[in-house]
Structure 1
Amino acid sequence: MKRCNLLLLISILLILAPASAVYAEREDIRYQAELDYPPYKYIHNGYLAGFDIDLTEMIFEKKDYLLDFSTGSWEYAYEKLIQGEIETTGLMVVSEERSQDVLFSQPVLGSFISVYARESFRDKVTLGNMGKYKIGVGKQQYAETILNSKAGVKEYIEYPTVPEALEALQSGAIDLLFENQEVVDYLIVERGLTGKIVRRISDLYPRDVAYGISKSSPELVPYINARLEHLKRSGAFEDLYQQYFFVHSEAYNTMIRNRIISGAVIIFCLLVFGVVAVRMYIKHLRRAIHSEQQFLGDVIEHSGILIWAVNTDSRITRFNKYAETLTGLRERDVLGESLGSLQPLKPNAEQLRKLLERAVLQDYAGNVELRLPDNHPNARYFSIRTTLIKGLDDQSADIYVLVGMDVDERKQNELKLQSSYEELEATYEELAATEVELQDQLDKLRVSERRFHLASEGSGAYMWELDWETGLYKLSDRWYEVMGHTEEEINSFEGGVLSIIHPDDQESSRNARQQHLTGITPIYETEYRMRTRDNGYVWFEVRGKAIVDPRDNILLFIGSLIDISKRKQVEFKLNNSYQELEATYEQLTATQQELVGQYDVLLENQKNIHRLAYVDSLSNLPNRLSLLETMENYLQRPEGKAALLFVDTDNFKYINDTLGHKSGDILIRKASERLQSVVSGNELLSRLGGDEFVIFIKDITDRESVLNLADTILGAFRQSFLIGESNLYVSVSIGISFYPEDGESTEEILKNADVAMYRAKEEGKGTYVLYDKSMHTAFNERMNIEKHLRGALGNQEFELHYQPQVDIRSGMISGFEALIRWNNPVLGFVSPLSFIKVAEDSRLIIDIGEWVLREACLFMKQVNERMLYPYKISVNISIIQMLQEDFTEMVLDSLAVSGLVPSLLELEITESVFMKSFGSIVSKLEFLKSQGIRIALDDFGTGYSSLGYLQQLPISTLKMDKTFIDSLSEKDYSQAFVQTIIQLGHNMGLEVVAEGVEDSGQLAFLKESGCDKVQGYLVSKPLPESGVNVLLAQRKQYGFPDM
C-alpha cells in the first residue's frame, strides 16, 4: 500500500509540474528495479532512496534526460529490460549469461558474496560442507545463481527479498545466509544486529557491478561511461560512496585509514628529501657559477678573439690580451680611461675606437672587415661587430662591446675561390667548344660503326677483341654458337683464345702476332685451326690490329675471324687431286672440285636456314613453327588420334628473380635434356617459348600410355637440378588434351591443353590434369578477374577492413589485422580467395600490397592518436613483394610516411613462402626485425615447415590456422595439437594467436591452454574504418570467463 501511495504522489507531482521550454527536447529514461535491496535501492520516509537511485539521478542530467522511476520484482524488471520496454534497471552484477541479453556500462564498483550465521552458531562452515545446513538466499538474485552453479548447493530456501532472508536467519528458520556482502552488512548495521549476525566466509566470488542497459538503447552506454568518468574525477562519486558505504563497509574504512596514514608518511618523507635536495643544489650552483666565471675569463683571454668593452660613459671596462697584441695598448693602462683620452693611436686602433664611439651613440657595426695590424707583413683579416649588452637589473650598467673574429683563413679562401672561378669560366668555355667538336665526331663514329656492323654481318666474319690490360676476350655471339664455347669458358682458359689453337698452328700464329706487335707488319694476318667444344677443329682466316694510346701503350687488340674450313677442304682436295691426276686433267679436276665445294656450301646454308627457322637456339629443340607445321600436317589425316602434353615448369619466375636470367637459361637447357630422356621417337618434343614445352604424340591407341608418360615426366622432375653451386628442385605442371575429342584444330588442341595446365597449377602444381570443357568457365573467369584487376587500384576500388585481436588475459583489444576488400562496378564484391592468386601470378600484387601496407599504417596512426593507445596493425605480405630488391625500403618508407612506430607493425608471412625462398628472404626479415618490426608466421601447421626451419626464422608470433580451431570440439587430437603449438610457441619466446574463434567453447579451451590472443567472429567480424571507430569508442572489455 505504501508503494502505491508513493507512486500516486509521484504521478500527481508530475502532472502538476509546469513544463519548461529548456527541457522540451529531453528524452525519457524508463528505470525500473526491485526495492528492499539496501543500500542500493529501498524506500526511506516514503521516497525512493539508495546509492543506485542517487547515482542514477547524478548521471542523467536534467537538461538531457527525464527519469521515469518505477518498481517491481527483479525477474519482472529484468524481463522488461530484455524486451526493451525499459531502458535500465540500474546497477546489477555483470555475468556472461546476462551479457548475452543486455548491454553493460563500465564497472561502477565490485561486489562480493559472504556466508552469514548467528553468533551462537558454532559449527565450522566451509564451501564444501555448507550444503548440509539449512541455507537461505534471495530469490532470483545473482547470489542464487552462484550458489547453484559455482558452490554446487542444490537444496536451499528462496526468500522474496534479502531483508526477509535476514529475518529468517535471525529467527533460526535457517542456519546460514548466502547473499550479497554489501547489502547484508548494511542491513546488520541498520537493524542493530552487529555482533548477533556474523560472517563465516567473506569476499567470495568477486564480480563487477555495472549499469544494465537495454540493447535497444546502445547510445546510453557511452553516455553513462562518460558521466561516470566525470563524477569520479570531480569527487562526487567518492562522496556518494562514503554516504552509503562508509559506516557499513569495514574494508572501505580500513582503506581510508591506510590511505591517510600513507599520505602523511609520504608528505613527511618528501619534505625531508626536499630540504636536503635544496641544500645540495645550492652548493652545486655555487660551484658551477664559480667554474663558469673562471671558464669565461679563460675564453675571453685565450680564444683568439679581440674584445674591447666600454660603459655608457665611454670608459673602458674590458680590454683582453688579443686586443693588446693588435693595438699596441695595455689593459692596465687603458682600464677606466675614456675613449676620447686615448691619444695618439695607431691607424688600426683609431679605426676600432671610432667604431666603439659610434656604438655608444647607438650606431652599431655589423661584420666590418679590417686588416690588422695595418701595414704589417703578418696582418690578418678580422670581422668586427659592435653590440650592446643590457644590464640585468637597475644596479647593473649597460656595456658596449666591440668583438673582432679572425677570418683571415676564410678571406684568403674567398680570394683563391674568386681566382679559381675565373679560371673555371675560361676552362668551361673551352670545354663547351670541345663538346661540340666531340659530338660531331661521335655522330660520324656511330655512322661508321653502323656501316661496319652491316659489312661484318654481310661478310660472315666473326669479330674478336682482346682487352690488353685485363687479358679478357670478347667474340661475336655467332662464333660462340658455332664453336660451342661460352665467354666465361674462353676467359677461364690460360691464354684465352690462344689455348684452343691447334698445336701445329701455334708457332706460326705466335710469330705473326709478334711481328705485328713489334711494328714489323702493319696488320696481323694468319690462318689457324681452333678447337670446338666437341673436340673438332674449324679453320679461320685471322686479321687484326693493335690499338695504342699516344705513348704507344697497347689498349686493345681487335680483329675478325672468317670461317675458311670449306676453302681449306677444297685446297686439300685440290692438292691431292693434283698429285693423283695427270697434268692434262688438272684444270678440269680443279673446276669440278670447286663446284662440289660450292654445292656443299649451298647445302650447309640451306641447313642453317632451316635450323634457324625450325629449331630453338637455347634448347636445340623444335620450335613453335616446327610444332605447328607437324600438327597441321597430322591433323589433315582422316581417322588420326593424337595427344598433346603442355608442360610448364613451376616457380620459374622465382628462379629468374632470385638467381638471375642466366641461371634461368641453364635450367631451360637442362629441363630440355631431361624431357628428351623420357620421350620416344613417336613423340615430338618442342619448346613453345619461355619455360613452356609441348609433347605431341601421334597415333595413340589408348589414353593410359599418355598418362604413364605424364607420370614419368613428373617423376623425372623430382630429382634436383645442379645450377652453379645450388641444387634446385623444380616441378612441372602438365595439361593434357586429346585429338579429336578436345578440338579439331591445332589452335584448339594447344589452347585447351594450356587451360588444363593452368588448372594443374591451381590444384597445387607438380601434377597433371586432363582437359574438360567445364574448365573454360574457370579459365575465362580468371582472365576476366585479371582484366578488371589491372585498373582496380587506379579506380580506387579497394577498401581495407580491420578485424580486432583481443588479449585473452585483459579482455581488451590489442590490435587489428588489415584485410583487403574489392568492390568492382562490373563484378561486384570479389572474394580475396578469387583475386589474390591472380594478382600474384600477374605481379599486380606488388603495387596492391604496397597500397595495403601504406593505408593500414596511416589509419592505425590516426586511431592511436585519437584513442591515446598503441594499437598494433598486422598486414599480410606476399612472396612476390618480398622478392623485390626494394622490399625493405618500401616497408620503411610506409612507416616513415605514416609516422607509425615500427614496433606497432606486424608483417604476416605464410609457411609456404619460407619453404620456397627461405635463403633469399630470411635476411630481409632479420633486417626488418632489427628495426623493431614484428614478424608473424601465419596459418602455422598447414604448410611444410620443420622445427629446424622454425628455429632459424626471425619471427615474433605464431598464428594458428582456423582449421585447427574449427575442429576443437569434435576431435581430441585437434585439442592436443593446439596445446602443443601453444607450448611450442611459448618455449621459443613467441606470442601465440588463434584465428577463426567463433564460439565460447573454443575460447574457453584456448584460454585454459594459455593462448595469448584471439580473433574471429566471436569478437567481431572485419570492420570498415567507421566500424573500428565506433567499436573503440565503446572502450569495450570482453568479459572472457575464468577457467
Structure 2
Amino acid sequence: MKRCKCLLLIIILLMLAPPAAAHAERQDIKYQAELDYPPFKYIQNGYLTGFDIDLTSMIFEKQEYLIRYSTGAWEQTYQLLTSGQIDTTGLMAVTEQRKKDILFSTPVFKSYVSVYSRQALKDKVTLGTLENYKIGVGHSQYTAALLQSKAGISKYIEYPTVPEALEALVKGEIDLLFENQGVVDYLIVEQGLTGNVIRKISDLYPVDVAYGVSTSSPELVPYINARLERLQRSGAFEELYQQYFFTHSAGYTGMINDRIIFGIVIGLCLLLFGIVSIRMYIRRLRRTIHSEQEFFEDVIEHTGMIVWAVSGDGRVTRFNQFAEKMTGLKEQEVLGKKLSELPGLDGDVSLLRDLLTRAVYQDFVNNVELKLPEHSPEARFFSIRTTLIKGMDDHDEAVYLLVGLDVDDCKQNEQKLQLSYEELESTYEELTATETELQEQLYRLSVSERRLRLTSEGSGAYMWELDWKTGFYKLSERWYEVMGYTEEEINGMENGVLSIIHPDDQASANKARQAHLSGKTPIYETEYRMRTKDNHYIWFEVRGKAIVDPADQLKLFNGSLIDISRRKQAEFKLNNSYQELEATYEQLTATQQELVEQYDMLLENQKNMHRLAYMDSLSNLPNRISLLEAMDNYFRRPGGKAALMFVDTDNFKYINDTLGHKSGDILIRKASERLQSLVQGKGMLSRLGGDEFVVFIEDAEDRNAVLTLADDIMRAFRRSILIGESNLYVSVSIGISFYPEDGETTEEILKNADVAMYRAKEEGKGTYVIYDKSMHTAFNERMHIEKHLRSAMNNNEFELHYQPQADIRTGEITGFEALIRWNSPVLGFVSPLSFIKVAEDSRLIIYIGEWVLREACSFMKSIHERTGRLYKISVNISIIQLLQDDFVEIVLDSLEQSGLAPSCLELEITESIFMESFESTVSKLEFLKSRGIRIALDDFGTGYSSLSYLQQLPISTLKMDKIFIDSLADQAYSESFVQTIIVLGHKMGLDVVAEGVEDDSQLAFLNESGCDKVQGYLISRPVPPRGVWELLEH
C-alpha cells in the first residue's frame, strides 16, 4: 500500500505536453531493390542498406518524397519496372536493350567485370580459353549477356543471386565466376574469402551504371540528375562512395587531378605574370631614372654647392657651375685631367685639390671649413666633405667626391647666437653618424643614381621643379613623406606649394621669387616656413633657378629645399637625402616578396586539397581514408598488437528527426570534442560518417587499458550535451576487436568491431562488447531470418490469428486482438518473439504492420456484416510505424477501404513508445482519438516512466501486463498492486483489461476488483479466422 501511495502522488504532479506539428504531404516513390546484391543492396544488422539505398535516400529529399522500399528477385523487379508498377530499382548497368524498356539518369560511375577462380586453380586463364571451363553467372544479370555477346560463351550456369554463384565457386561446383567486379570483391572481403578466391582477369567490359526509372515516371530523371550533380559537387557522394568501396570515385580522382593541374597552371601564370611585371617595372624604372637623372643634372648645375668628383686614378670626372664660380676654373679646363696636372691653383683652391688627393688615398675629411673665393669681398664659408661612392660590383669604377656646402649663413648665425662649443661638438657627432649611415646605404643602390642623389641629398636638400606652362609641381618623394601630402594634393591646391607657406613669410617669399624671375638676382634664394598636413611648420632654405628654352621663354623653375629647422634652433643637421633610392630598392624587394607569398599560397592550397581528402569537414577529425591508411601501415609492421573501438551514438536518428539536421551536426561536433578529450594521446580518433566514430589504438599490449578507456567514454556520455537551450542525454554503444586475434586485415578488424557494436545495441545500448567469433553465428542466423522475412510478404506466408476479449461480468465476447503468425516453407513456424524484432530493426515492420492493420480491419468488417453485431478489433502498433509521416493517413485509409467504423478500431501502443519520442507521437494519437479511434496502453506497469506521462496520454484503455496476473497466486503484494491499477484506471475514466488470464481464481479476483475485460487462455487461445466464426457461433 505504501508503494501505491507513492505512485498516486507522482500522478498528481504530472503536466500536459504540447502537441507536435503535423507533417506535410509528400510524393510516394516506389522503389524495389534486387535481393542480395552487395555492396549496392543488401541486408545488414536487420536493415536494408548498401551504397544504392543510402544514395537514394540522399537524392530524394524527405520533405518532398516518401520512399516505399520493397525487395524481390531481379527478373520480377525488372518486370515491375518496365510495366510501370514501380518507379525505380536504383542503380543498374546501362545496356542497349534496357534503354528500349526504361529511362536512365546520367551515369553515376562505371562498372567492370572480372573472372574469378579458386586459389587452387593454377591455369593461366584468358578470354580465349574460357570455353574450356565450367562458368557461373548471376541469373538475368547483364554479365550473362556480356558472356555471350563479348566472350562468345553460350554454355554457362546461372544462379539466383551473385552470392549463391560465389558460394558455388567456393564449393567447386563451377571453375570460374564471370561477374561484376565491385560486387564480388565486396563479397570476398565480407565472407572472409580473401586469398581463397582470386581474380584471373579483371577490368573487363566497362559499362555505365545509372538510375533505372520507369517510363511512367519521366519527371524523376531530371530530378535525379540535378540531385546527383549537387551531391557530387558538395562531396557527399564522394564520402558515401569511399565508405563502401574504400577508394576514390573516378569522377573525384579526375576532379582532384584537374584541380592540381589548374593550380599548377595558375602558379605558372602568376610566375609568368610576375616576371613580365618585373620586366615592365624595370623598363619603367629605367625611364624614371633617366628622367630623374636629367632632373638631378639640372639641380646639380644650379644648386648652391660645390661638386667636384674624380676617378680612382685622380682624373676629374665632374666640376659643376657653382664650383667654377667659386674657384675661377672652367669645367672644360679640368675634365679628364689628373689633379696634379691642373694649372694655376693657389690658396684655398689648391687646398681643395689636396683634400681630393687625400680622399683618393682613403683619407677623407668631413666639415672642413674654407672661405671661397679667397681675398674676395663676396667670399663665403663652405663646409667641405670628401667621400667615396663605391661601385655596385667589380665592373663599376669607384668615384671620389668633394662636396662644398655654403654654410656662410650658418656661421653668421652661430656667431649671433653664441652657441656653445659643446653644442657644436654634438652637432659634429650627429653629422659623423649620418655620414656612416649614408655610406652603408651606398652599397645597396645603383651607381648612377647614387652619384646624383648623394650629391644633392647629402646636404639634406629636397628637389623641386615647377613646369611653368602646366603649373605642375614635382618634388622629392621624401619631401612628401615629411610634409604628409601627396603629389595630387599639392598640385590640387590653387597655388601649389606656395599655398602652404606661412602667412608671415608670404611677402618675403614672393619678393625673392619676383626678383629672380625679373632678372634682378641670378639665383632664387629665400627662407620660409611650410605647413605640414598635421598643421605644424618646418623651416626651409629655398634655392632655385629659372630655366628658359631656346626662344628665351621660361620653361622650368627648379631648385632645392633644405630643412633648416635645427639651424633655426642653433644647429645645422645634414639631412639624409638618399632614402628615395632605398624606397625604390624596397619596391623591387616587395615585388620579389609578393612572388614568394604567391608561391606560399599555392603550397597552402595543396595542403587544403590534401585536408579535404583526408579530414572530415564536420568534426575536423581524420576520415575513413586516413583511418584505413593508418591501419594498413601499422598492420604491415610485424609483431604489432592493436585494438579498435567502433563507437556509435544511440538514438541519433531520433534527435536528427525531431530537432533537425542542424542540431544533429552540433551533436556530432560536441561528441567529437568529448571523445577527442578522452582519446588524445592514447589512440587515433576518426569519423566514418553519420554518428559512427572509430578509435584505433596502436601497440595495445594491455587489454585492461583499452577496456578502461571504453569505460571512460561511456561515463563521459552519461553527462548531458547542451544543444541550444536543451540538455540531451545520449549514450554510446561500443564494439571492440583486437589485432591480430580478431582478424589480420583492416577490413576484418573493422567488420568484427562493427558486429560487436551491434551486439552491444541488442544488449540494451550504453555498453561495450568485445568481439567473439560466436557472434557471427547469431548474426548469420538473424540475417537468415531477415532474408526469408523479406520474401514472406510477396509469398503470402503471414496469417492473422485473433484472441478474444470478454466482458468480465457477462462473459460475452466484446472484441479481438489481431496477432500475426508466420509459417515459412523454409524455416517452418517462426515465433513472433524471433521475427518481430528483426522486422523492426530492418524497418520491414512498416509494411508488415500496414498489412496487419488493413487485414484486421477488413476481417472485422466481414464479422460485422455476417453477425450484425459490432465487435472491436485491437491492432499492435510499433514505434517505427508511429514515427512515419504518413501513419495517420494509413490508419484512416484502412478504415475507409474496409468500411469499418472508427469506434471499432483500437490501436495498442506500448509505453516504451512514449519514453523514446513523446512529443512526436502524442499529437498523432490525439488526432486519431478525435476521429473516434480508441488507444490502448499495452503492457502497463512494466515500464519505468509511464506513470509520469499517464495523464498526458490520449488513451482509452489500460491493459495490465500478464506478469501481474501470473503473480497473483504467490506474491502477496500483487493483489494490492492489481487493485490499485484498476482503481487508478477507473479514476481516469479508462477501461481496464487484464491480459494472460488462465484460471478461474484469477478471473474471480479480477471480477471482485472491478476489472472491465479479460483476455487469456481461459477465454480462448489465439485462433485463425475460421476459429473466430466457431467462437461466435457458440
TM-score normalised by length of structure 1: 0.43
TM-score normalised by length of structure 2: 0.43
Highest RCO, 1 vs 2 (Cα 8 Å, sep ≥ 6): 2
